[in-house]
Amino acid sequence: MRQGLDGGSGDGGGLVVGMEVAVVVDREGGEQIGFISPLQSAAAMGYDGILLGMGNPLLDISSVVDQEFLDKYDIKLNNAILAEEKHLPMYEEMASKFSVEYIAGGATQNSIRVAQWMLQVPGATSYMGCIGKDKFGEEMKKNSKLAGVNVHYYEDETAPTGTCGVCVVGGERSLIANLSAANCYKSEHLKRPENWALVEKAKYIYIAGFFLTVSPESILLVAEHAAANNKVFSMNLSAPFICEFFKDVQEKVLPYMDFVFGNETEARIFSKVRGWETDNVEEIALKISQLPKASGTHKRITVITQGADPVVVAEDGKVKLFPVILLPKEKLIDTNGAGDAFVGGFLSQLVQEKPIEDCVRAGCYAANVIIQRSGCTYPEKPDFN
């Protein structure tokens, strides 16, 4: 019998996470009841390391700022960019001028932490990326382990742990990432037996597009492994600048993508740089889903979020729209991590082989929780049914 992780199972059994769980085991001569603890449950139920993420681990330095600050550093809302020379003083200025919060972040790491939170099964998720040997790096390790994620960080001896300025005005956010150590990830770390074992164990792999700027070689190694072993490989368009300035490396990995996530702005830029001459998000999602694939095992599914507008899902030559959970403006704290949380929620159901409708519903639920809090943070337990 395969237990579900959402309070139900394939044949009407139940699971309560956080206490011993009764499992019916088929044996010759009848069924026997055994018990597993929550710490055993990931392995016992086939969820041990089922989902692997790779990306740029960053410490978010998050604050509500003012328009004057955005103008000073030429920052646009609802955007994500890599820090240039002119942005470097902003991190210190944020800390001295505004009330800042330090939150473990980075797009892929956010998604993996949210998936782990939704699953509530320790060790169901793993993550790799590069941090510095410093106090921010130690903080990151502590946070991730507390979240139940099995992290295998590559620790760079010289570069400090990467940071991301999260500037919030009126609930809308802008991200300015200073990658530092996150930019130093090497495929040699991935190839080490103890790290490659995470790849071997995973059945689902997710990487945000931001990692294309750091280690495309690592992405291709993992993507080729997924295609050869009938695993599900997913990526995110992540930001307009990725679609625009890293088109060539994105193009190399696209054939391996079974799921492509993104938002409406990224989708339109993706279309523009390919000369598709359409701004229609549904058309673009459909076109992305129909691009050539490296393996025919899984069809490609495109999932595009549009803020408060319906989520667009394209598969099998058809487009479906799913409404999001609308939130009154006064309940919106900040949109930082909303897209990452959507992916995390979605993946938490995908790894349980739930229908796409349930995956989207879980994504919308997770995003709705995160935008009512500061940064990509969440309460102790989800109440998603």
Q: What is the pLDDT of residues 241-267, one digit of tens each?
A: 999 999 999 999 999 999 999 999 999
* Distance (Å) of CA 191 to CA 40, 188, 199, 207, 325: 28, 5, 10, 17, 42
Q: Tokens 């990830």 sit at which residue? A: 185
More confidently predicted of 195 and 30: 195
CA 306 vs. chain centroid, Å, equals 17
Question: Are 164 and 60 spatial neighbours (Cβ–Cβ below 8 Å)?
Answer: yes
Say if strands 318-322 and 309-315 run parallel, antiparallel, or are unpaired. Answer: antiparallel
Largest CA distance in the chain: 75
pLDDT score at 342: 98
Burial class (CB in 10 A: 0-12, 13-18, 19+), 17: middle
Asked if residue 24 has pLDDT above 90, the reply is no
**pLDDT of amino acid 272:** 98
For position 7, what pLDDT does the model report?
A: 31
Q: Express each pLDDT in 79-133 by its tens digit.
A: 999 999 999 999 989 989 999 988 889 999 999 999 999 999 999 999 999 999 9
Using a pLDDT cut of 70, give the percent of the chain over it. 88
Residue 2 pLDDT exceeds 60: no
How far is the C-alpha of 303 from the C-alpha of 311, rounded, in Å? 7
For 260-300, the pLDDT digits (tens) are 999 999 999 999 999 999 999 999 999 999 999 998 889 99
User: pLDDT > 90: what percent of the chain?
Assistant: 76
In the predicted model, what is the mean pLDDT of the chain?
Answer: 89
Q: What is the reported pTM? A: 0.85
Residue 20: predicted pLDDT: 42
Side by side, the strands of the sheet bearing 309-315 are 150-156, 125-132, 51-54, 204-208, 232-236, 259-263, 301-306, 309-315, 318-322
Backbone angles phi, psi at 125, to 5 degrees: -125, 150
Res 15 pLDDT > 50: no
Given a cut of 70, whether residue 324 has pLDDT beyond it is: yes
- 26 has a pLDDT exceeding 50: no
Residue with tokens 């279309």, as numbered in its chain: 271
With H, G, I as helix, E, B as strand and everything else as coil, classify residue 349: helix
Give the mean pLDDT of 189-208. Answer: 98
Residue 37 has pLDDT above 60, yes or no: no
CB 311 within 8 A of CB 324: yes
- Is the pLDDT reported for residue 8 higher than 70? no
User: Does the structure show a pLDDT above 50 at 63?
Assistant: yes
358-361-367 Cα angle (round to 5): 140
Rounded to 5 degrees, φ, ψ at 332 are: -75, 120
pLDDT at site 22: 43
Write down how long the chain is. 385
* 215 token code pair: 């280690």
In this prediction, residue 329 carries a pLDDT of: 87
Catalytic positions are 340
Q: Residue 9: pLDDT above 50?
A: no
Mind listing the pLDDT tens digit for each residue in 349-365? 999 999 999 999 999 99
Higher pLDDT, 4 or 261: 261
